[in-house]
Amino acid sequence: MVTKLAQQGLTDAAVLQAMGSIERHRFVDTALVNQAYEDTSLPIGLGQTISKPGVVCRMLELLRQGRPGHLGRVLEIGTGCGYQAAVLSLLCQEVYSMERLRGLHDKARENLRHLRLANVHLLFGDGMPGYAKGAPYAGIIAAAGGEAVPQAWIDQLAVGGRLVAPVSAGVTSAGKQVLLVIDKTPQGIRQSVMEGVYFVPLKSGIA
């Protein structure tokens, strides 16, 4: 899988190494294990999916870009099965990962148990208002796309921090999603629109 990612032009050695050391097959159902190392998203229950490895790799590269070494605290919105949180844990000091669906929050806890990653904090709740207790964050990464990036996320980003999230309306036409990169600089907010992506929707409230 990592070789294929590198062939796609993904070059951040630390991200590739982290992805090479977290076994993705442990995060999907038994029936899907033989597809776990293909570059495809897979169902994880409750209508949600584990993101494509290529997209996880790309987003983590963007998050780290220009900032070599370990990141500080990172907030992840959308724990899902916990795969990306596990990869993140190898790249930053602390991971705060929030999930709005109780069933998936519990599944992620179960999936991550054997890894004993002391720096991953799984939180059950709506990630729309962010998680102020862990702020400010060196990085914020969302695995679900809304119409805009909630202001709370930008507020909780440290100066020098970067946010990577899929967004739809306002940036592109008719429901299409793109990756948005937001840098909080001492001079203010800088926004870059990247390539088109496809993520599950960002939803309010818990279930």
Sheet strands (E) in the chain: 42-45, 48-50, 71-77, 92-99, 120-124, 137-142, 157-167, 177-185, 188-197
Burial of 6 (0-12, 13-18, 19+ CB in 10 A): middle
Q: Which of 21, 41, 51, 192 is catalytic?
A: 51
Q: Does residue 192 have an active-site annotation?
A: no
Q: Which DSSP helix (H) or strand (E) runs through 152?
A: helix 151-155
Give least dist CB 186 to ligand SAH, A. Answer: 29
Which letter does DSSP use for residue 170 in this model? T
Q: Rounded distance, CA 138 to CA 74, Å?
A: 6
Q: Which DSSP symbol is given to 46?
A: T
Quickly tell me which residue has 């190494």 as its tokens.
17
Q: Which of 55, 59, 74, 77 binds ligand SAH (CB under 6 A)?
A: 77
Decide: is 28 part of the binding site for ligand SAH (CB under 6 A): no
Q: Between residues 131 and 161, which has the closer beta carbon with respect to ligand SAH?
A: 131
Pick between residue 83 and residue 96 the one whose CB is nearest to ligand SAH: 83
Query: Using CB under 6 A as the criterion, what x/- string covers residues 107-126 for binding ligand SAH?
Result: -------------------x
Minimum gap (Å) between residue 136 Cβ and ligand SAH: 19
Instruction: Report, as residue numbers or ranges, the catalytic residues.
Output: 51
For ligand SAH, the binding residues (CB under 6 A) are 44, 48-51, 77-78, 80-81, 83-84, 98-101, 104, 126-128, 143-144, 200, 202-204
